[in-house]
């Protein structure tokens, strides 16, 4: 037993990690660390029943477990600790605090967490925040982290919420210039600088001063589940998993800012160019946040109207926050169309067409390339996400919720708010939708955004040797032995889609 373990333990905190899986610049963790002079323990819990959810993704789960492992390594390196339990929060807190109580050991004085905005999470957090103080006499403290501007902070002048992206984003940009949001960014800038300085001088020193064995005075009476789950689930990943955790996210952000940001506005729509940040997987788990991105961007003018790389990039960050904002104010979008008039559409839902779309065998090269990129990498370029989503709903006439769920099963960055928002936008059922009578032509989209066919050739090897002029319309070259003819006639299907959306309500 270390010397520290013999000193009686005074007050300490428990930090409940959720979608804030990092140490650097973690507001609620930092609040606890300061309040308890470094004596703060980490807890993560997930209800194992979520593995049976219909939108469960084995690949995303594997990446998430690797993110937790990176977090634990970071915490331990700094003198802290993380316990991972595979039960829901009530059961987890009961197990931990109950075990401490039974042994007559000191309970944490506070429990901290960063706020989450999904409907399920808000309900869970309200329940836990009321239950913990009543049952265990602990203080509960929460902070803003997952979004730069919280949904309740951004309202229209009359008090309602924004349903259209552009006015939302203009207001978001204006708020970003306000002192309270600038303070969040400044805090992240300081945290990032402190982290860089500590790294370069190798002088981080233990910033935390408590471990789970220390609190229990020896071996833990509770089994930690992280390694068991990692051993079982990480080998099951069917796509190469990117490096996980804050350090990997920070490196990717640095590379993006250095190599791609200047040309972002020109290249972000070209799927072959890899001109985007690919930070979505890290934003999803909170290995990195919008505030940290703004902090790292430095002194860029935050002006919605600019057309340069940094501002275009910020407008995309604002899209993410917009969809969180919509989900917060209209939780029903999780299950149904935002627009009431499109809640009863009679989707034909042909299962064989849906299967061909999933497998990248529709006979439309840009669609097939996108679906195969998704299958092979767990990620898809945003322009192609829009094309394949439009194709599924408006060419194949399949309910957007089928596509939304399939994306959740496949995407490493699968995230309810932007995924639901993206699908409802493409299907014209959402807020700020693509008008239903405007249907993406997949052939023209391919020609415009992949003119040399570099992206198509990368993911559809059957077409690799086709001359450029046939690449976007291979059927024009005659029958191909190993590539399907178009599953549907685009013009005909687009007309059917318009008719479907015109159906009288409820018919
Ligand atoms: C049908 C459909 C489904 C989608 N599903 C998801 C999803 O599950 N998870 C997810 O994070 N994004 C989703 N998006 C949004 C977008 O495609 C991804 O965020 C983006 O492709 C991620 O790549 P990136 O990090 O390189 O983006 P960048 O171009 O580098 O953008 C930076 C960040 O801005 C945000 N962002 C960019 N574009 C959008 C957008 N159109 N909507 C909302 N946020 C955006 C992301 O957080 C992204 O990481 C979806 C879009 C569509 C059309």
If DSSP states are collapsed to H, E and C, what string results for 291-315? Answer: HHHHHHHCCCCCCCCCCCHHHHHHH
pLDDT at 7: 56
pLDDT at 2: 43
In a 3-state reduction of DSSP, which class is residue 498? helix
Residue 230: closest CA among 113, 377, 97, 73: 73
> What token pair was written down for 207?
């910033």
> What token pair was written down for 394?
């408006």
Q: Is residue 221 part of a domain?
A: no
Among 318, 326, 413, which is best to mutate for testing ligand 1, by the most ligand atoms less than 8 A from CB?
Answer: 413
- Mark whether 54 and 178 lie in a shared domain: no
DSSP code per residue over 81-102: -EEEESS-HHHHHHHHHHHHHH
Last residue of a domain, one of 306, 329, 352: 329
For residue 423, indicate whether it is catalytic. yes
Rounded CA-CA distance 152/167 in Å is: 16
Q: Is residue 433 part of a domain?
A: yes
Q: How far is the CA of 320 from the centre of ligand 1 (A)?
A: 7
List 109, 150, 316, 336, catalytic entry: 316
- Mark whether 151 and 138 lie in a shared domain: no
Which residues are 15's β-sheet partners? 42, 112
Residue 391: closest CA among 319, 502, 257, 497: 497
Tell me which residue has its CA closest to atom 22 in ligand 1. Answer: 280
pLDDT at 477: 87
pLDDT digits (tens, 9 = 90+) for 400-436: 999 999 999 999 999 999 999 999 999 999 998 778 8
Q: Is residue 211 part of a domain?
A: no
- Mark whether 136 and 158 lie in a shared domain: no
Q: What percent of the chain has pLDDT over 70?
A: 96
Residue 377: CATH number of its domain: 1.10.579.10
Residue 306 banded pLDDT, cuts 50, 70, 90: confident
- The four Cα atoms 394, 399, 404, 405 give a dihedral, to 10 degrees, of -140
Task: Specify whether the CB–CB gap between 228 and 69 falls below 8 A.
Answer: no
pLDDT of residue 143 exceeding 80, the answer is yes
- Mark whether 316 and 407 lie in a shared domain: no
Sheet holding 40-45, edge to edge: 82-85, 40-45, 13-16, 110-114, 139-143
Last residue of a domain, one of 329, 359, 394: 329
pLDDT digits (tens, 9 = 90+) for 54-101: 999 999 999 999 999 999 999 999 999 999 999 999 999 999 999 999
Q: Is residue 209 part of a domain?
A: no
Last residue of a domain, one of 300, 329, 358: 329
- Mark whether 259 and 354 lie in a shared domain: no
CA dihedral for 466, 470, 474, 480, sign (positive or negative) = negative
pLDDT at 302: 74
Q: Is residue 212 part of a domain?
A: no
- Mark whether 321 and 352 lie in a shared domain: no
- Give me the number of domains the chain comprises: 3
Query: Distance of CA 430 to CAs 141, 321, 330, 341, 496, Å?
Result: 35, 16, 11, 11, 20
pLDDT at 202: 59
pLDDT at 304: 84
Rounded CA-CA distance 371/113 in Å is: 37
Ranking 329-343, 377-391, 465-479 by mean pLDDT, the lowest is 465-479
Residue 3 banded pLDDT, cuts 50, 70, 90: very low
pLDDT digits (tens, 9 = 90+) for 95-127: 999 999 999 999 999 999 999 999 999 999 999
pLDDT of residue 4 exceeding 70, the answer is no
Which domain covers residue 35, as residue numbers?
A: 1-143
pLDDT at 15: 98
Residue 248 CB contacts under 8 Å (≥ 6 apart), including other chains: 70, 242, 282, 287
pLDDT at 5: 45
Ranking 227-231, 237-241, 386-390, 473-477 by mean pLDDT, the lowest is 473-477
Average pLDDT, integer, range 243-269? 97
Rounded CA-CA distance 93/136 in Å is: 9
Task: Specify whether the CB–CB gap between 357 and 371 falls below 8 A.
Answer: yes
- Mark whether 385 and 322 lie in a shared domain: no
Residue 433: closest CA among 295, 368, 338, 297: 338
- Mark whether 72 and 186 lie in a shared domain: no
- Mark whether 137 and 156 lie in a shared domain: no
List 131, 153, 334, 382, catalytic entry: 382
pLDDT at 386: 98
Ligand 1 cavity residues, CB under 6 Å: 268, 276-280, 283-284, 316-317, 319-320, 323, 382, 385-386, 389, 407, 411, 413-415, 418-419, 422-423, 426
Average pLDDT, integer, range 368-389? 98
Buried-state track 199-233, b at ≥16 Cβ within 10 A, e below 16: eeeeeeeebbbbbbebbbeeeeeeebbbeebbeeb
Task: Specify whether the CB–CB gap between 330 and 336 falls below 8 A.
Answer: no
- Mark whether 5 and 108 lie in a shared domain: yes
> What token pair was written down for 87?
């039960």
Q: Is residue 39 part of a domain?
A: yes
Q: Is residue 50 part of a domain?
A: yes
For residue 31, indicate whether it is catalytic. no
Report the mean per-residue pLDDT for the chain. 94
Residue 197 CB contacts under 8 Å (≥ 6 apart), including other chains: none
- Mark whether 364 and 434 lie in a shared domain: yes
Among 64, 271, 382, which is best to mutate for testing ligand 1, by the most ligand atoms less than 8 A from CB?
Answer: 382
Tell me which residue has its CA closest to atom 19 in ligand 1. Answer: 280
pLDDT of residue 50 exceeding 60, the answer is yes
Q: Is residue 334 part of a domain?
A: no
pLDDT digits (tens, 9 = 90+) for 428-480: 999 987 788 889 999 999 999 999 999 999 999 999 999 999 999 999 988 78
Average pLDDT, integer, range 172-199? 93
pLDDT at 159: 84
Q: Centre a 10 Å sphere on the Cβ of residue 310 and count the other Cβ atoms it contains.
A: 19
Q: Centre a 10 Å sphere on the Cβ of residue 130 and count the other Cβ atoms it contains.
A: 11
- Mark whether 43 and 134 lie in a shared domain: yes
């Amino acid at each position: 037993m270390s010397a520290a373990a013999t000193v009686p333990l005074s007050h300490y905190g428990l930090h409940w990690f959720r979608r804030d899986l990092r140490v650097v610049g973690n507001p609620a963790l930092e609040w606890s660390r300061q309040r308890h002079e470094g004596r703060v323990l980490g807890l993560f819990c997930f209800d194992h029943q979520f593995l049976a959810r219909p939108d469960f993704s084995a690949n995303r789960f594997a990446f998430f477990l690797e993110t937790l492992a990176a977090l634990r390594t970071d915490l331990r390196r700094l003198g802290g600790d993380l316990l991972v339990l595979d039960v829901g929060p009530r059961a987890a807190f009961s197990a931990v605090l109950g075990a401490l109580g039974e042994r007559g050991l000191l309970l944490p004085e506070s429990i901290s967490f960063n706020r989450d905005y999904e409907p399920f999470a808000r309900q869970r957090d309200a329940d836990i925040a009321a239950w913990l103080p009543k049952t265990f006499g602990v203080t509960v403290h929460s902070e803003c982290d997952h979004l730069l501007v919280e949904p309740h902070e951004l309202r229209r002048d009359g008090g309602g919420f924004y349903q259209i992206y552009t006015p939302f984003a203009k207001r978001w940009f204006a708020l970003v210039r306000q002192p309270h949001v600038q303070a969040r960014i400044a805090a992240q800038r300081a945290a990032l600088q402190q982290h860089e300085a500590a790294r370069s001088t190798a002088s981080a020193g233990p910033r935390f001063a408590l471990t789970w064995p220390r609190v229990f005075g020896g071996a833990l009476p509770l089994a930690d589940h992280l390694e068991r789950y990692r051993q079982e689930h990480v080998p099951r990943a069917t796509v190469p998993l990117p490096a996980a955790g804050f350090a990997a996210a920070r490196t990717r952000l640095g590379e993006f800012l250095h190599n791609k940001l200047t040309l972002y506005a020109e290249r972000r729509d070209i799927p072959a160019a890899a001109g985007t940040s690919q930070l979505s997987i890290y934003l999803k788990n909170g290995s990195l946040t919008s505030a940290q991105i703004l902090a790292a961007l430095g002194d860029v003018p935050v002006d919605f109207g600019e057309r340069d790389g940094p501002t275009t990039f910020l407008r995309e960050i604002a899209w993410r926050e917009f969809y969180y904002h919509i989900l917060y104010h209209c939780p029903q979008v999780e299950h149904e169309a935002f627009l009431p008039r499109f809640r009863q559409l009679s989707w034909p839902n042909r299962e064989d067409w849906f299967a061909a779309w999933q497998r990248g065998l529709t006979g439309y090269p840009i669609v097939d390339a996108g679906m195969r990129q998704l299958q092979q990498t767990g990620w898809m370029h945003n322009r192609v996400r829009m094309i394949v989503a439009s194709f599924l709903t408006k060419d194949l006439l399949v309910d957007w919720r089928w596509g939304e769920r399939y994306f959740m099963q496949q995407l490493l960055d699968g995230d309810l708010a932007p995924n639901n928002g993206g699908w409802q936008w493409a299907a014209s059922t959402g807020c700020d939708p693509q008008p239903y009578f405007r249907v993406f032509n997949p052939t023209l989209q391919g020609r415009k955004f992949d003119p040399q066919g570099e992206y198509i050739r990368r993911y559809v090897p059957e077409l690799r040797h086709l001359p450029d002029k046939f690449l976007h319309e291979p059927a024009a070259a005659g029958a191909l032995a190993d590539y399907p003819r178009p599953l549907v006639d685009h013009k005909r299907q687009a007309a059917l889609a318009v008719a479907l959306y015109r159906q009288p309500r409820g018919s």
